[in-house]
Amino acid sequence: MGIKGSFSLSKSIWSVTFKILAKYPRLLLPFFITALFEGLVLTALFYFPRFPLSIVLAPPIRAFFGARFLHYPYNFILLPQLFYYAQVLVTMTIGVVMYGAAMGMVYQAHTEGEKVKIFGNLNRSLRRYATLAGIWLITFIISLIILRGPRFLIFKFLPPTTFFKILLQIFFYGGIVLIFLIEALFIYAYPAIIIERRNFFSAIKRSFGISKGVFLTTFTLIIVPRILDFVVMMLKQNTVRLMNLTLPEITLVILAAGVAVTFITDSLVFLTTANLFVLTKETEKEPRR
């Protein structure tokens, strides 16, 4: 498929997705539940220096990070790091299950009409949790290596010069693009696990096969929403500077905005690619002439 055809297909998939969302807004429910848990965790971390949460959270924070982070404004400096760890945990547990449920709901929207329900799909997703979590974990580890590996080597072996800073920027931005490419390769494994009941390796093979045929379309469906994630990431990396320019509480605003943005971007990425998966599956069933 050429570039023009790929972009045309991307627009068609977005159109299909928004039409289905207008008809079945409950498709957003799995992503809303994940965002809700993230919001609850963020609230708990915001209040960790205060009683009664301080009884549970203050001792480990004091032990691992130091007592000063239990006090204002240093608690806001630590908040992004704590929330990052919490988000990883929420995604690995709640989020992965919700991704699977969303895949099943999209398939129901195409095949069963009004019978789009979350509970049956949650049950199916829970039964396939280990496989779904395996897909998420492998993409997470690869992404972590891409972002942290080159940075670690540069800091270890190169002196802090102008070239050092330029190289860091090149690997950072290049790493972000590479992570989007990795996501494009693995994204169809989720619907393959739920809709086609494939095992771990079969789902990866299926995902690579579909992605190979519609790679530019898939990459477009991913990178356009993920630009918002990138903007939030840049804000998070500059929270200390923004705190100095404004108020320490700006950190909480940025993290809360990040939860809202992730809700939007994950919804778009997973629902559009799930729709493309279903349409590809239907095309494969059509008899060849």
Euclidean distance between CA atoms 54 and 110, whole angstroms: 48
Euclidean distance between CA atoms 89 and 140, whole angstroms: 12
Contact status, residue 146 vs residue 174, Cβ threshold 8 Å = no
Amino acid at 268: L
Euclidean distance between CA atoms 137 and 103, whole angstroms: 18
Note the pLDDT tens digit of each residue in 213-244. 999 999 999 999 999 999 999 999 899 999 99
What pLDDT is recorded for position 289?
A: 46
Where does the chain have alpha helices with state H?
3-23, 29-46, 53-64, 74-90, 96-111, 118-127, 129-157, 162-186, 189-195, 200-213, 215-237, 239-245, 250-285
Written as one string, the DSSP assignment of 118-153 is HHHHHHHHHHTHHHHHHHHHHHHHHHHHHHHHHHHH
For residue 31, what are the contacts with CB-CB under 8 A and spacing of at least 6? 98, 102, 263, 266, 267, 270
Length of the chain: 289
pLDDT tens, N- to C-terminus, the chain (289 residues): 678 889 999 999 999 999 999 999 999 999 999 999 999 999 999 998 888 888 888 899 999 998 899 888 899 999 999 999 999 999 999 999 999 999 999 999 998 766 788 999 999 999 999 999 999 999 999 999 999 998 888 888 888 887 888 888 899 899 999 999 999 999 999 999 999 999 999 999 999 999 999 999 999 999 999 999 999 999 998 999 999 999 999 999 999 999 999 999 999 999 999 999 999 998 877 555 4
What pLDDT is recorded for position 164?
A: 80
Euclidean distance between CA atoms 260 and 213, whole angstroms: 32
Euclidean distance between CA atoms 286 and 196, whole angstroms: 17
Euclidean distance between CA atoms 2 and 14, whole angstroms: 18
Euclidean distance between CA atoms 188 and 210, whole angstroms: 7
Token digits for 147?
């972002």
- Angle of CA points 102, 108, 110, to nearest 5°: 110
Return the exposure string of 132-141: e unless at least 16 CB atoms fall within 10 Å of the residue's CB, then b: bbbbbeebee
Query: Would you list the domain boundaries of the chain?
Result: 3-281
What pLDDT is recorded for position 163?
A: 80
Q: Which of 212, 213, 191 is nearest to 202 (CA)?
A: 191
What pLDDT is recorded for position 125?
A: 97
